[in-house]
A and B are shown apart, each in its own frame.
Chain A
Amino acid sequence: MTLEEILIQHSPALVIAIPLLSAFLMPLISRINAKLRNVFAIAMLGLTGCFIWLLATDVLTSGPRVYIFGAKNLTIPVVRILFEVDSIGIFMAIITIMLAIIAVIYSWSFMNEQDGLDKYYTLLLLLVTSALGMEFTGDIFNFFVFLEISCIASCALIAFWVTEGEALEAAFKYIVVSAIGALFVLFAIGVLYAQYDALNIATLAQALQYTFLDKIVLILLLVVLGMKAGLAPMHMWLPDAYGRAPPSVTLIIISATLASFYGVLRVIFTLYGNVLTTSMRFDFPLHVIIGWVLIVLAIVSILIGVIMALIQSDFMRLIGYTAVAEVGYMFLAIGTTVAALGAPYATVALQGGILHLLNDAIDIGLLFLVAGAIYYVTKKRSLDDIGGLARTMKYTTVFFIVALLAVAGMPPLNGFTSKFLIYESVYQLNPILSIVAILCSILLLAIFIKVLYAAFLGPELPALKDVKEAPKSMLLAMGLFAGLAILIGLFPNLFIDTLVKPAADALLNHAQYITMVIGGI
């Protein structure tokens, strides 16, 4: 074996091990030098990114990869803790590591005046580890453990600005919601274990019979993971948490939220993949019921997110409600796929939904970075107190306009490409849904036009006369996101052919996932 093959073989473990090790090295390193600490964080996340890249090239060319922990020879994998990396997992990992690297670059200037940065970086790296773990694990109990780690780490990070009462309140709400959700996930895992004597996702998927208990498990997992992903009407923690966490942290919490969304995908398409079409009740197959439940919740999310965002005056909270709407679009795509499983447009909807994951991360991330830049230079949260910033913050304004057009789904930016796929496929299921989605997208544009006017245009306010442009590292982070947004908008096929189509195929073709583990005996 060459060195490259050895590295690829071990990269699923190293992708988790490197951020975890550097998280705990962080308190020791930050004693030496603050600059060294920042460089170390960026370097370690960059190294993790390299391993993910290696893994991605391998997984996309030669199929899923299984890594079994602690076994010298890879026998009886079903009773071992294992990681199973397939195209959708690697797609999520790419999103996570991209958000993490940009967040660390952004925190270089954004957080440099704060205390307790060693703990900040430790928790940040732990959060990245947990999100990556959720995306790679092939063991449902490990999924729960990583879910809890992400909940603890993100709660501590939301409360990072501990001098603000609201940050504490948001963190408390988040941890109550997450802790109860995670306990229900554990309950569901216990029920599955009691029935099938296994914790391995592939083994469970093969054995699943859709009994009465499996129904309970399905509902619990769907609702809890939906809640963690920000599905209405259980979305209320999301604007609180997003609005009060430091924006660099919010980027990583977005990746944890998207990992929960990935959990929903995994539960529906892989765990219950065998029974989706076979179990019937009153002439309705199971997938139609799940699909329409998801569609209804998604439409509610889009409407509530958009309508509530319109009346917000706190910039970050406004973006939080927009994030709820964007999650709604993703669930709309997934719901359409599940409801119309087998139809040709179902695949298109799934591709649109998966591409929208990436676009949501980029657009909402960029908006939060812009909001953070405004907060950094003005120390004001409310849109009512700012105005005329375009005169002094030229680059930030340009980045904001890119984000605005992208998040509202205007061509030729990235938001349009995924929303185009979603609209076209949803229209074939039910035209009304598509019309509602388009109308809400227009409302999104209206919301951000309001922000553009209130924050950047208008007369120069005397209170903000000596405002300067944001520091370079923050501009670099925003520029990276804006560049990605334009790139995906101009070359959508580049991303769809290489990343999104394999991911959609991996989800729809769950038999391959199962045989990778079961057939390996």
Chain B
Amino acid sequence: MIEYIPFIAVVAMVFIGLYAVMFRRNLIKIVIGITIIESGVNLFLITLGYREGGVAPIYTGLPPGTTYPEQMVLPVPQALTLTSIVIGVAVLALMLSLVMHIYRKYGTLDVRKIRRLKE
């Protein structure tokens, strides 16, 4: 049971994020919702690569007595997560700067009022 908790957390985070995007009105909260989804997905990737009692996958400076590569955690999901975090920072910065500009033009952060483009 205990090993499923991270996956439950992942699903919960994705759903909380989707809820925030779909039903919150503040643009900043929508951005936060996207960030929560991203954290959930990153948690998912990290959980995939976890190995109980594993060490960091670096071939030098191993703790004495470890057998490699059996006791190392998987490096690939970590690389994927790092890439995803880097991309996430860029997307977050872009979204926040857009929100700043939108506030300047529309005078509101309510997503229901930011819809000059419809139909």
| In the complex, chain A residues 154-181 whose Cβ is within 8 Å of any chain B Cβ | 155-156, 159, 162, 165-166, 168-173, 175-176, 179-180
CB distance from B17 to the nearest CB of A (A): 8
Contact present for A168 and B101 (CB under 8 Å): yes
Contact present for B98 and A171 (CB under 8 Å): yes
Q: Does B87 contact A (CB under 8 A)?
A: yes
Contact present for B116 and A166 (CB under 8 Å): yes
Contact present for B34 and A179 (CB under 8 Å): yes
Q: Which residue of A148, A156, A244 is within 8 Å of B117 (Cβ)?
A: A244
CB distance from A51 to the nearest CB of B (A): 26
Contact present for B98 and A180 (CB under 8 Å): no
Q: Does B114 contact A (CB under 8 A)?
A: yes
Answer whether A190 and B76 are a contact pair too, CB < 8 Å, given A169-B114, A176-B95, A180-B34: no
Contact present for A165 and B14 (CB under 8 Å): no
Q: Which residue of B38, B95, B115 is within 8 Å of A175 (Cβ)?
A: B95
Q: Which residue of A145, A155, A199, A243 is within 8 Å of B87 (Cβ)?
A: A145
Answer whether A194 and B48 are a contact pair too, CB < 8 Å, given A165-B106, A176-B30: yes
CB distance from B31 to the nearest CB of A (A): 8
Contact present for B80 and A172 (CB under 8 Å): no
Contact with B along A388-405 (1 / 0, CB 8 A): 000000000000000000
Q: Point out which of B21, B87, B98, B116 has the most chain A C-beta atoms below 10 A from its C-beta.
A: B98
Q: Which residue of B34, B44, B87, B90 is within 8 Å of A176 (Cβ)?
A: B34
CB distance from A245 to the nearest CB of B (A): 12
Q: Does B32 contact A (CB under 8 A)?
A: no
Q: Report chain B residues within 8 Å CB of A199.
A: 76
| SS class, residues of chain B in contact with chain A | helix
Q: Does B16 contact A (CB under 8 A)?
A: no
Contact present for A175 and B87 (CB under 8 Å): no
| In the complex, chain B residues 55-82 whose Cβ is within 8 Å of any chain A Cβ | 76-77, 80
- Determine the distance from Cα of A426 to Cα of B102 in the docked complex, in whole angstroms: 45
Q: Report chain B residues within 8 Å CB of A18.
A: none
Q: Does B26 contact A (CB under 8 A)?
A: no
Q: Point out which of B30, B34, B84, B95 has the most chain A C-beta atoms below 10 A from its C-beta.
A: B84
Q: Point out which of A152, A179, A308 has the most chain B C-beta atoms below 10 A from its C-beta.
A: A179
Contact present for B101 and A187 (CB under 8 Å): no
Q: Report chain A residues within 8 Å CB of B102.
A: 165, 168-169, 172
| In the complex, chain B residues 1-51 whose Cβ is within 8 Å of any chain A Cβ | 14, 18, 21, 27, 30, 34, 37-38, 41, 44-45, 48
Q: Which residue of B91, B117, B119 is within 8 Å of A308 (Cβ)?
A: B119
Q: Report chain A residues within 8 Å CB of B94.
A: 152, 155-156, 175
Contact present for A187 and B44 (CB under 8 Å): yes
- Determine the distance from Cα of A162 to Cα of B114 in the docked complex, in whole angstroms: 16
Q: Report chain A residues within 8 Å CB of B87.
A: 145, 148-149, 152, 182
The 5 A-B residue pairs with the shortest CB-CB distance in the complex, in nearest-first order? A165-B105, A148-B87, A240-B117, A172-B98, A194-B48
- Taking Cβ atoms with an 8 Å cutoff, the residues of A that contact B are 141, 145, 148-149, 151-152, 155-156, 159, 162, 165-166, 168-173, 175-176, 179-180, 182-183, 186-187, 189-190, 193-194, 199, 239-240, 243-244, 308, 311-312, 317
Starting from the known contacts A186-B45, A190-B44, A311-B119, 14 additional A-B residue pairs (CB-CB under 8 Å) come to A141-B80, A148-B91, A149-B87, A152-B91, A168-B101, A169-B116, A171-B98, A172-B95, A173-B117, A175-B95, A180-B21, A183-B34, A186-B80, A312-B119
